[in-house]
Amino acid sequence: MAATEIDRERVPKHVAIIMDGNGRWATARGLPRLEGHRRGYETVRAIVEASGDFGIQFLTLYTFSTENWRRPKPETDAIMCLIADAARLEVEDLHRKNVKVIVSGRLDELPAEVREELGRDIEVTKDNTGLTLNLAINYGGRREIAEAAQAIARRAAAGEIRPDDVDEELFARHLYSPGLPDPDLFIRTAGEMRVSNFLLWQIAYTEIHVTPVLWPDFTKEDLARAIVDYQNRMRRFGAVVSR
C-alpha cells in the first residue's frame, strides 16, 4: 500500500485539491448529478481525516468556483444547500479533531444560510491548532489577484504605501488567505490537465499530480499515492540542485 511508503519526515505541508468528476461519476451510474456531489461530500470527510493522519498541515479544497455559477440554477442551489448542510453537520467533529476551518473567496456573495453556517464553523474552530482546512468557495484565481491589486492601489492612492513598496511579499499579504503557505502539492482528480483558475498566484512552484480517479472514488490510498509521487520528485525552485 502507498500509505506505508510515505516518508513521514517529508510530507507536503500544504496540499490543494481540485475535486473534479462528481457529475461524471453520477452520470455513469444513471444518477442525478447531485448524487455525485453528495458522494463527493463523503469523500471530503474521508480525505480531511486522512490528511490529518498523514501529517498534512494545510488542506485547500476547491469547493465552488466563481465559474460554477454558470451551471443550471437548480444545480447551484442544490450545491449551496449541500455546503450549508455539511458546514452545520461537520463542525462538531472537526472541532473535536482540532481542525481549523477557514474560507477563501467572496463569502458576501453567497446565500445567507451558507454564510451563516460557514461563519459559525470559522468562529468555533478559530483557535484549533491541528490541520487547517481551507475551503475555496466562490473562488476564482484571477479575481483574487485583481482584488489584491485593487486593495494595494487604494492604499497607494491614500498615501499608505509607495509604488516601490509593492513586492511579492506585500502582494501576497492582500490575497484571500494571506497566512497560508503556498501549496507544495496540487492534486486534480478525473484526469483533467488544467488548473482551472485555482490558486494562480500560489502555485508558481507547486508540484502537480493528476489522477484519472473521479473525486467520489478518491480514497486515502489515492492521496497516499499522490504524496509518494511528490516525494519522488526533486524540487528545484528554478535552481540547479544536486542529489
| Largest Cα–Cα separation, the chain | 59
Residues 6 or more apart whose Cβ sits within 8 Å of residue 10:
231
Q: Is 20 a catalytic residue?
A: yes
Residues 6 or more apart whose Cβ sits within 8 Å of residue 27:
33, 36
Q: Name the β-bridge partners of 52.
A: none
Catalytic pick among 68, 85, 128, 217: 68
At 131, phi and psi to the nearest 5? -55, 135
At 116, phi and psi to the nearest 5? -65, -45
CB-count burial class (<10 Å; 0-12, 13-18, 19+) for 206? buried
Catalytic pick among 20, 121, 184, 222: 20
Number of H helices and E strands in the chain, helices first, is 7, 6
Give the integer Cα–Cα distance in Å for 55 and 12. 8
Q: Is 134 a catalytic residue?
A: no
The single-letter code of the amino acid at 107 is L
Judged by DSSP in three states, 31 sits in coil
Active-site positions?
20, 68
